[in-house]
Structure 1
């Protein structure tokens, strides 16, 4: 099968969309499929082109058997609605044009979280007369209003009309949560064309570690410390100011550290708050290359997974919980009750507390810190749960969806 996949995030970027696409694509290649990924110069989330790359009109290279086509886009940091829209729309145009020059595929796939790449995928499928699969990673633009980045307006309503148009025109929709499928059915989309393929973990890379990576632990002063870590994009949706408040509560414990690792629109706010509160128990680590993520995760004794208290986030499953399972790191989840909290409870891979509740997050950290038996029990459950979310299975499930439309 020849697959063209459009995404504006791809390694060396290390966010969830980039990771999911890459880890699936390498498995499709190993299975004998030809995969072409159309993407842009890596720049997320800081809005700066990564070293060794350039923002050029058309570049090609291979990555682990994947044919990668990179196109020029308007590059900006992951902040500011208008600039981000220009970024998305520029990829929509240049990604579509680049797709025209690729050899005739069997299927065209485009992924969100925003849907402008999906517009390019749909248009390309119409021109090439090939099936279009929309991988739905986020209900967008609803997530814009959920975090307060923009109020409901004429622009939002127009974006919602485009969103529904794409759902209806897609030959298949692949949802990363059951909740997204339920939401689309309520909005009149045919449930028979919606398949669910959850996120997962590459168990060849993320495996239990009995010790913190020595070089990182030494560099950041984390040897013999109990580390509660937030790793990933620092976005408006995560309410990280509450985690800073948690760190303030934990100052009296000399052997506990709160770690923030990554970048994004809310990163500077975290840095400023830590400096303002003069917190000595917070460790700030810049975004790391994707290949360093298992070592970075090894620093954590528990993983902090917060989202702000919005009904929209009941439908979201943060993908990092699966990497934590693979590493055997208990999760402290502070998100609205929904599909993600159900997974944590069903797998006993962590504890669930109220979204934005500083007292409860603090208490959960202290409970894991003090109760060694509980910690080991949850760690073991996490490791045992990980194979249920293996990337090998999710990659195979996606190919089955594609194959339904290939004659």
Structure 2
């Protein structure tokens, strides 16, 4: 099967959509399919194009059996609503030549990854020109989130954007998303029930597992073996609502047995560092290479998953999979009835969004109760093993791909992710191997 994946983000980005798109492409290629990708150079979550990719020329490279076409784009230093739209439009336009180059290849499937929906018209056009089937995979409902977060405020623009989104979604042969409630949202937006598909994010529980020793990061960060570590790891953007973590750290500053560790990059990181300036119970880290991810996740005694209440069910935090697989306790912020609430409730502690007091109380409760932490960790890992394994997710994906083109694919090996995605990248990571601890100015 010839599969073209068209999306903004891709490896060597370490977080979010780029990580999962790359792992999916690599797994399909390892299963015997011919996979090509049209994407941007790595820039997320630093909002800075990586070293070696800073050119306005298109480039072609190979990564783990996948042929990758990189199209340039404009990346704002300080993203805002309008700047983000220009940023997305720049890639949609610049990637047109790379899409056109695949007309003669005649893919069987053209898959567009959202965000960004700005790519979707090009994906549909290529599918129509080549007779391919079209697939839209939604990691975030970006239009809804942009208005709910206040990034875009014009009512007329909202109606136009939502109307355009509905029109696009109804023209794809398959629309998938990462949670049941996000799939339901697609149906409410007009997608036929027979065209939707649940494709959850996955986690390799062979690569992410509980260590039988303290994490090496404790020594590197100067954290004692018996000090409780509250860890946030991932993108630092508006929808995370990270200011509540700074408030909790300030509320617990008098306790010398609890340390907050923030690992990641993003648009709001500088503000978070400013709010934590002077707090001796906080540490900041840059993103770590993929080969150190398990070590990082095992640093936590408690993982925290903040989420603004106004984006509930618009996004399903992908970082939850690794948290569960690490067998550490999780505190998540979610309203009752949301998918995040249902995923964590009973396997961790769920509190209402944006409440520093509730977060502080939950942290103190878990740090003071090792048996409860262990119980939550065991339940989370069991959930990851049974529901989020790559083998089950990719077997369902391949079955749907094959049924979509209406014929079996000869000589295709079972789709697998272990070899394709768990090993370090073949090309150099663009993330700096900087000192683990970052100085707060």
TM interval, shorter chain, is: over 0.9
Q: Which moved more, 1:161-170 or 1:177-186?
A: 177-186
Residue aligned with 1:404, SS: helix
Q: Work out the CA distance in 2 between the residues paired with 1:31 and 1:360.
A: 46
After superposition, the Cα gap between the structure-2 partners of 1:324 and 1:92, relative to the gap in structure 1 and judged at 3 Å, is: same
After superposition, the Cα gap between the structure-2 partners of 1:327 and 1:77, relative to the gap in structure 1 and judged at 3 Å, is: farther
Q: 2:218: which partner in 1?
A: 217
Segments of 4+ moved more than 6 angstroms: none
Verify: 1:141 aligned to 2:143, yes or no.
Answer: yes
Q: CA deviation at 1:211?
A: 3.1
Q: Work out the CA distance in 2 between the residues paired with 1:51 and 1:168.
A: 39
Q: CA deviation at 1:210?
A: 2.8
TM-score when normalising by structure 1? 0.94
Q: Work out the CA distance in 1 between the residues paired with 2:78 and 2:16.
A: 14
Q: How does 1:299-378 map to 2 (within 5 A)?
A: 299-310=299-310, 312-337=311-336, 338-345=338-345, 348-378=346-376
After superposition, the Cα gap between the structure-2 partners of 1:164 and 1:145, relative to the gap in structure 1 and judged at 3 Å, is: same
Q: 1:98: which partner in 2?
A: 98
Q: Which moved more, 1:172-181 or 1:47-56?
A: 47-56
Alignment length, in residue pairs?
401
Verify: 1:251 aligned to 2:253, yes or no.
Answer: yes
Judging by fraction of residues, say which structure has more helix: 1
Q: Work out the CA distance in 1 between the residues paired with 2:137 and 2:325.
A: 24
Q: CA deviation at 1:397?
A: 1.9
Q: Work out the CA distance in 2 between the residues paired with 1:122 and 1:244.
A: 44
CA contact 1:6–1:95 (8 Å) conserved in 2: no
CA contact 1:332–1:350 (8 Å) conserved in 2: yes
Q: 2:410: which partner in 1?
A: none
Q: CA deviation at 1:376?
A: 1.4
CA contact 2:144–2:314 (8 Å) conserved in 1: no
Q: 1:261: which partner in 2?
A: 263
Q: CA deviation at 1:11?
A: 1.2
Residue aligned with 2:95, SS: helix
Q: CA deviation at 1:172?
A: 0.6
CA contact 2:182–2:313 (8 Å) conserved in 1: no
Q: 2:175: which partner in 1?
A: 173
Q: CA deviation at 1:258?
A: 0.8
Q: 1:385: which partner in 2?
A: 383
Q: Work out the CA distance in 2 between the residues paired with 1:322 and 1:46.
A: 22
Q: 1:39: which partner in 2?
A: 39
Q: CA deviation at 1:116?
A: 1.1
CA contact 2:328–2:373 (8 Å) conserved in 1: no
CA contact 2:306–2:333 (8 Å) conserved in 1: yes
**1:136-168 deviation digits (Å, cap 9, x = unpaired):** 112221101111212143222222122111111
Higher-RCO chain (CA-CA 8 Å, sequence separation at least 6): 2
After superposition, the Cα gap between the structure-2 partners of 1:161 and 1:315, relative to the gap in structure 1 and judged at 3 Å, is: closer
Q: Work out the CA distance in 1 between the residues paired with 2:302 and 2:78.
A: 27
Q: 2:402: which partner in 1?
A: 403
Q: How does 1:14-163 map to 2 (within 5 A)?
A: 14-77=14-77, 79-102=79-102, 103-163=105-165
Q: 2:433: which partner in 1?
A: none
Q: 2:420: which partner in 1?
A: none
Q: CA deviation at 1:249?
A: 1.1
CA contact 1:8–1:39 (8 Å) conserved in 2: yes
Residue aligned with 1:141, SS: helix
CA contact 1:131–1:171 (8 Å) conserved in 2: yes
Contiguous gaps of at least 5 residues in structure 1: none
Q: Work out the CA distance in 2 between the residues paired with 1:362 and 1:133.
A: 43
Q: CA deviation at 1:31?
A: 1.1
Contiguous gaps of at least 5 residues in structure 2: 407-441
Q: 1:272: which partner in 2?
A: 274
Residue aligned with 1:199, SS: coil
CA contact 1:8–1:40 (8 Å) conserved in 2: yes
CA contact 1:172–1:401 (8 Å) conserved in 2: no
